[in-house]
Structure formats: structure tokens, C-alpha cells
Chain A
Amino acid sequence: MNDTAPLLRIEGLTKSYPGVVANADVGFSVRPGRIHALLGENGAGKSTLVKMIYGLVRPDSGAMHMNGAPYAPASPNAARAAGVAMVFQHFSLFDALDVAENIALGMENPPPRRALAARIRTVSHEYGLPLDPTRQVGELSAGERQRIEILRCLLQNPGLLIMDEPTSVLTPQEVTILFRTLRQLAAEGTAILYISHKLEEIRALCDGATILRLGRVVANCDPREKSARDLAELMVGQTLQSPSRAARPTGKVALSVRGLSLAAPHTFGTALKRITFDLKAGEVLGIGGVAGNGQDELLAALSGEALAPAASIMLNGAPVGHLGPNARRALGLLAAPEDRLGHAAAPDMSLTENAMLTGAGRMGLSHKGFLDWPKARNFADAIIAAFDVRTPGPISTARSLSGGNLQKFVIGREILQDPTVFVVNQPTWGVDASAAAAIRQALLDLAAKGAAVIAISQDLDELMEISDRFCAVNEGRLSAVRPAHGLSVDDIGLMLGGAHDMEMRHETA
């Protein structure tokens, strides 16, 4: 196999943005029939690199060759014409359109609708990704939505298929199906460029890897010959430390949720169905689940953004379901939503103003409605100092911070308010490794001080690392809560997939 000529060869590719060099002198090649990994942390330059290959961004310098001929796509159309297809991390789908329309939009010359629908049915079955072309996309699960993206690519018989973080929204079972499809494609001669930061996946799937750090290639290797730890250290550039985890004695029940049901907030949202669990002081409850299964809705119900029957949520024995966010904050129930920019923080406001956003009551930043800005500024300074937020100062806007720094600010803002119960959704999503480690440590420290913590996340490794107990959310239902210690990948997969236990299966039937 090694003697085949490369399909895509990249040499000296450089791209800089004001203040950042996204890619510097990047080079590697992909051969037909191979699955090549592009490995790197968030911000390592993977996205910029594939955008250049796909014609969305133009390199400043360097060259690309496709089948030996110079390749410089001016647009995605040109890239597609050259046989390059891409599955995006954040799906480039249109919720209000149906499956066939979505696929037609990604093709250069789509066949008439009826013929296209027939092809979708046959090809999707061929690759084990069944899809109904007439379904509206907004109603589909994340896994099904990804199938659309893949199918959109497959229908064009691409020479090179780019997959950008494809497994972040899939259950382990769905990942297995995806890998089978990708291996089948590779066997048929398609070259696959597989972008990920998940090491085990890459070791299982790929036969070549290029590792990027800070926009530069740090290694080209065969991932099957390296340990996950080796790969991780190449990727991060330092030796890794797991968060310290003291044995935590748990206290009395701090938060008790009983039969919490809420209608979907909008057409494409998820309804919560009879959520029930208890949370003790001093413990971390990890809630796993595939994106879009009710995580946002659960956080909103706990934070008070969505109101519920009073007794369905009890905080230290008192009903709080009917209270809004500020009343719950006053009682010690604090939250940090997933979307940092626009939900947890207002992008165009300063850090001082963002400190005021949730701290007004609990930190005494307002008196009879009048705001004490100097005190808010001190609070912002305290967060910046305590959580090592890299910023010129509290007058900087939230938008000017990097993802990791803003996340530290958001989490720090809540932790410094000394919560009794802290709920966080996706604590380290899109955050660099060192900030992620700091955030996880902060959550563990908080629990060690006696607070109860709920961490909702799609990163199972993260949940296994910090949780005392684990459960999964699927289509708005919560699985039974189980001790995290001793759970196998298969157990977790079944929980994520909704087959929680006999009782649950009975209910959903």
C-alpha cells in the first residue's frame, strides 16, 4: 500500500491572522484508501488547515497538490469539483428543510428530486446509515443529522473525505457504525482525513497521523504504534497530570429532583420527562449524553430560566421549582450554561458588567436596585486573580477573551459566590488542555469544600475523571444514577443510548 502515490500532498502551508499564526509551514500527505488523522488540541490550527483544503480560506503561502497537479481551490465549489468532500463539526444543515433538500444543497449538480430521494435510500442502506429523504432535519437526532452530512459527501463519490470531529455528537454504538462505514469507504479507495483530539479513536481507526501544536507539525507517525499517552504528550507538549482526587465523604441531600417534566421550549427543543435524582453535599454527579438530548433544557430547569412545579425541585428541603434564577441564586443554587458567549456572558459587555450579571445579589453589588460598580469591579478582579484569567483587565469585553479564559471567568464567577449546589453544562468544551485541567480541579475543590456539583458533559473521559456518580440523559429522560467507579464503556454506551434498565425500557415502549 505504501507505494501508492499520495492523493493530496501539502507543503509549507502557512496562514496567519492578525495576532495569531494559525498554521506555519504545515506539510503532510494522504494516500488513497488510507485514513489519516489530524490530531491536535483546540486552537492547534486543525480547523484552519482543513478550511484551506476545502477552499474556505486561502493560504498565505505554501502549496497543495492533488494527484500530482497543483491544487488551490478558490471556493468550496472548486474543492468539491476536485473531489474533496467535508463533514463539518458543527453541522452545516438547515433545520427547516428536509433531508433530500439538505443533500441537494451540498451537491454540484443534484439529480431531480425523485431520483435523488431514491439514491439517498439506496446509498444510505449500502453504508448502514438508513435515512428517510422526506424527514425534516430539525426533528432528527444528532447521529441522524451527521448521516446526512456523510451521505451528502458520499453521493459525490469523493476522492478525499474530510471528517471534522465526527464522534463528538455520537453514542459509542453510533461511533462503531461510523467506523465501519469509514473502513468500508477506505477499502473502496477513498482517502479520509480524520480530525480529532480523541486519542483512542485515532489509534483504533487511523493508519497515519499528523500531530499539530500551535499551528506547527510536531510529528508524523503511525498512531497504532504509539500509546495514547505518547500521543497526548506530543499534542499538549508537556507531561500530563490527572487531577488529584481526594476521597470525599458525602453529606446530606442538597438537591432533590422529583418527577420533573417540562414541555420543549421550542420546536426543535427537547421535553424533559420525569427527571428524578438526589444530589448529596460534597459529591460530583456526572450527567453524560449525546448533544441535543435535553442537556440545555435540564440546565435551564435547574438554573431557574425555565420554571417548574415548586415541589419538583427541592433545595435543602425547600421547594424552589417555581423560583426564577435570582431567587435560586439567593438560596445557593448557581449554574453555568454551556454557551459561554451569549448565554453565560454577554459578549460586548466588560468583565465587570459580566460579573454583575450573576453576582448582583449574592455578592451585594446592588442596593435597592442601584448598582455598586466599584464593588463589581473588585469582584471581577478577584475572579481574574483566583482563576488565572488571562486578560488585560476587567474593562475588557467578554468577547475579547479566548474560549478557555472566558470559561475560567464564568466558572470562577459562580464558584467565588460560594454555591451550595453548582450546575455546569460542558465545563471544558472547546477549552485548551491546561485550562480544562484547571477547571476540573476547581470543580473537585468545590465539592471537597462541601458543595454539591452537577457536571453535564458530552466528554465521557472528563465525566469518568471527576464524577462520583454517573447517569445519562437521553431524549429528555434521565437514566438511573450509578456509581462512576467500575462502569464499563458498554454500560455507559447503553445508558447513553436510552436502554437504561428494564424499568425504563418498559416506560419508553
Chain B
Amino acid sequence: MNLGAIDPVLLIASLMVAATPIILAALGELVVEKSGVLNLGVEGMMITGAICGFAVAVETGSPVLGFVLAAMGGAALALIFALLTQYLLSNQVATGLALTLFGLGISAMIGQAYRGVKPPATAKLNLGPLGDIPVLGRMVFSHDWVVYFALVLVAGVWAFLKYTRGGLILRAVGENHDAAHALGYKVVRIRLAAIAFGGACAGMGGAYVSLVRVPQWTDGMTAGAGWIALAIVVFASWRAGRVLLGAYLFGGISVLQLNLQAAGVPVPVEILSMSPFVVTIIVLVFISARQKGAAVAPAALGRIFHASS
């Protein structure tokens, strides 16, 4: 065992990388849930984004194009969910599960041709003098663009929900869709847009796993990240800022356990590998016990809207 081999600076740097896919996916789901829709298909949209992004990046040699297509792939899958739940009024839980099962299948199918292929590298962003700051430079300012994009998106979603009229309308639809409808807001269309946004974010998050974090293609490689993202939305009490906190907490644990495994800590590998999931459950329990009875979730979450008038 060699705990000295764990470099705290690298640990935080890799924590930021590990957290990025979760931030993206959780942020997307946050917007979806704020609109009153529960999409349990995050895992499916992530894995679809992962393969779309991977395939496009390999074929074109452009990781950026890969991320764009990953977002589109995730959004396309999300729109199937939207069509089913918003127009055909299907059960959101069941449809979300279908999305995950379908996404895992379709991605493995496309992914066959890409096993063992190495994707083009996503370059680190050169932030000039910021990167030269001792310690902090290496820790915070030496990442690729997606890491910063995710952070900007957190701020963007936060500001959108808090300060804009669009954000207010989105929250209103998620609180009481009948009242929003009575006031003349297009509930279904607003939810459609939110679901597509959620899919795009999840897709990008997935692509980050396959193009940067790992980077290669294996079947089912998102390995539960989508479910973690769903848990983090609850953990965050539906607030954008806290998504960041939750994702960093989770990223920290997954990076730490990998480091501990590498350092040869005398704890069974399986215990370390399951720790992110166990910690997520424990955190979820604490949060839900504290939220008990308090109305923090959007009131219309998961309810079917059918304008009968």
C-alpha cells in the first residue's frame, strides 16, 4: 500500500473530470423535472450519446462534432420519450425505463464496429497565464473545454430558472400544469423543449465518458452514471448550484476509490467499486429524511397532463 502516491492536486483535477458527465446529465434532468416530467431514461440517453459522439468523433476526427452529434442523439431519444409521454400519455416511469433498455441495446449495436478503436483526443484548453498559477493552475485550469462548458451550464441553468421569464414559466408548468394551461401556456410544448434539452445534456455527458474519461468504447460503459445523475437531482433538492456539489461529491468518491485501489489499500476491490453507489444511497436517505413532508419536488412531477377542456 502506498498512500503517498495519491497526489491531492491530481485528485481534484481528476475529480473535476469525473464529475463532468454527471453534472451535464443531472443538469439536463433537473430542467426536465422542473417542468414536471420524470424521465428515468437518463442512462439510456447517456449511453446513446456516448456511442453517437464516439462514432462521429472517430469518423470525422473532430471531438467537437462528436459532442454536437451526441447532444442531438440524446435529444432524439428523449423526443421518443416526449412523444410517448406528452402526446400518447404513457406512464413516465415505464417509458423512462424503456428508454434505458432501448438505449443500451441500440448503442451496443452501433458500438460493435468501434470496439478497440481509439477516439481523437479532446485537447486541453489553453487558458494562458491561468494555467501557470502554481497548484491551482494544474488543478483547475488545465482541463478540456467540456469541463468548463458544464460549469458555465450550471450557472446558465441557475440564472435561467431564477431570473428569466422562461424559467418562471417552466417552473410554473412543473408546479401546476392545469393552472399554467388555464393561463394560456403551452404545457406540452414547454415540456417537449425541456425533455429535448435534458436529452441533449445527457447525450453530451455520455460522450464525455466515451471520448475523454475512458476513452474508448465498451458496451454499457456509462455503468450507472445516469442513475447517479437522477439521484443527484434529488440530492440537489432541484437546485442547479447543488447539482454541482452533488456531482463533485460523487466524482470525488469515484476518483478516490480508484486511487485507493491503485495504491493497494487492504480493502477488497469490490467494496471500493461499490462505494460510489453505496454513498449515493446513504446521501439520498439523509436528504429524503430531511425533506420529508416539505414540498421541494415540483408538485406536478410525473403527473400526466391532458387538457380536457
A and B touch in the complex (CB under 8 A): yes
Which A residues contact B (CB, under 8 angstroms)?
51, 55-57, 75-77, 79-80, 88, 91-97, 101, 104-106, 110, 138, 266-268
Which B residues contact A (CB, under 8 angstroms)?
165, 168-169, 171-172, 175-176, 178-180, 182-185, 293-295, 298-299, 309
Which label, helix, strand, loop or mixed, suits the secondary structure of the A interface? loop
Task: Collect the chain B residues with CB atoms within 8 Å of residue A106's CB.
Answer: 183
Give min CB distance, B33 to chain A, whole Å. Answer: 13
Given the interface contacts A77-B184, A101-B168, A105-B168, does A93 sit within 8 Å of B179 by beta carbon? yes
Q: How far is the CA of A104 from the CA of B293 in the complex (A)?
A: 28
Give min CB distance, A76 to chain B, whole Å. Answer: 3
Given A95-B176, A266-B293, 18 other A-B residues pairs in contact with their CB atoms under 8 A: A56-B182, A56-B184, A56-B309, A75-B184, A76-B183, A76-B184, A88-B182, A93-B176, A93-B179, A94-B175, A95-B295, A96-B175, A104-B168, A105-B169, A105-B183, A105-B185, A110-B165, A266-B295
Tell me if A92 and B182 are in contact (CB < 8 A): yes
Tell me if A97 and B171 are in contact (CB < 8 A): yes
Give min CB distance, A164 to chain B, whole Å. Answer: 11
Give min CB distance, A297 to chain B, whole Å. Answer: 14
Interface centre among B168, B171, B175, B183 (most CB of A within 10 A): B183
Task: Collect the chain A residues with CB atoms within 8 Å of residue B294's CB.
Answer: 267
Sorted from nearest, which 5 A-B pairs have the closest CB atoms? A76-B184, A92-B179, A92-B182, A94-B175, A267-B295
Tell me if B184 and A97 are in contact (CB < 8 A): no
With both beta carbons as reference points, the residue of chain A lying nearest to B171 in the complex is identified as: A97
Tell me if B179 and A91 are in contact (CB < 8 A): yes
Tell me if B299 and A96 are in contact (CB < 8 A): yes
Tell me if B168 and A92 are in contact (CB < 8 A): no
Tell me if A94 and B309 are in contact (CB < 8 A): no
Task: Collect the chain A residues with CB atoms within 8 Å of residue B169's CB.
Answer: 105
Tell me if B176 and A94 are in contact (CB < 8 A): yes
Of the candidates B165, B175, B183, B293, the one whose C-beta lies within 8 Å of that of A97 is B175
Interface centre among A56, A77, A94, A101 (most CB of B within 10 A): A94
Tell me if A76 and B295 are in contact (CB < 8 A): no
Tell me if A76 and B175 are in contact (CB < 8 A): no
Task: Collect the chain A residues with CB atoms within 8 Å of residue B178's CB.
Answer: 92
Q: How far is the CA of A257 from the CA of B175 in the complex (A)?
A: 37
Tell me if A96 and B295 are in contact (CB < 8 A): yes
Tell me if B182 and A76 are in contact (CB < 8 A): yes
Task: Collect the chain B residues with CB atoms within 8 Å of residue A138's CB.
Answer: 295
Tell me if B176 and A80 are in contact (CB < 8 A): no
Give min CB distance, A347 to chain B, whole Å. Answer: 13
Task: Collect the chain A residues with CB atoms within 8 Å of residue B179's CB.
Answer: 91-94
With both beta carbons as reference points, the residue of chain A lying nearest to B297 in the complex is identified as: A96
Task: Collect the chain B residues with CB atoms within 8 Å of residue A76's CB.
Answer: 182-184
Q: How far is the CA of A104 from the CA of B182 in the complex (A)?
A: 14
Q: How far is the CA of A101 from the CA of B172 in the complex (A)?
A: 9
Q: List 28 A-B contacts (CB under 8 A).
A: A55-B184, A56-B182, A56-B184, A56-B309, A76-B182, A76-B183, A77-B184, A79-B184, A88-B182, A91-B179, A92-B179, A92-B182, A92-B183, A94-B171, A94-B179, A94-B180, A95-B175, A96-B175, A96-B295, A97-B172, A101-B172, A104-B168, A105-B169, A105-B185, A110-B165, A267-B294, A267-B295, A268-B295
Task: Collect the chain B residues with CB atoms within 8 Å of residue A57's CB.
Answer: 309
Task: Collect the chain B residues with CB atoms within 8 Å of residue A110's CB.
Answer: 165
Q: How far is the CA of A55 from the CA of B309 in the complex (A)?
A: 11
Given the interface contacts A57-B309, A75-B184, does A267 sit within 8 Å of B165 by beta carbon? no
Task: Collect the chain A residues with CB atoms within 8 Å of residue B185's CB.
Answer: 105
Q: How far is the CA of A93 from the CA of B180 in the complex (A)?
A: 8
Give min CB distance, B59 to chain A, whole Å. Answer: 45
Q: How far is the CA of A88 from the CA of B309 in the complex (A)?
A: 14
Q: How far is the CA of A39 from the CA of B299 in the complex (A)?
A: 34
Task: Collect the chain A residues with CB atoms within 8 Å of residue B295's CB.
Answer: 95-96, 138, 266-268
Task: Collect the chain B residues with CB atoms within 8 Å of residue A268's CB.
Answer: 295
Q: How far is the CA of A56 from the CA of B169 in the complex (A)?
A: 18
With both beta carbons as reference points, the residue of chain A lying nearest to B185 in the complex is identified as: A105
Give min CB distance, A115 to chain B, whole Å. Answer: 14
Give min CB distance, A49 to chain B, whole Å. Answer: 12
Q: How far is the CA of A96 from the CA of B293 in the complex (A)?
A: 14
With both beta carbons as reference points, the residue of chain A lying nearest to B295 in the complex is identified as: A267
Q: How far is the CA of A105 from the CA of B184 in the complex (A)?
A: 10
Q: How far is the CA of A144 from the CA of B294 in the complex (A)?
A: 22
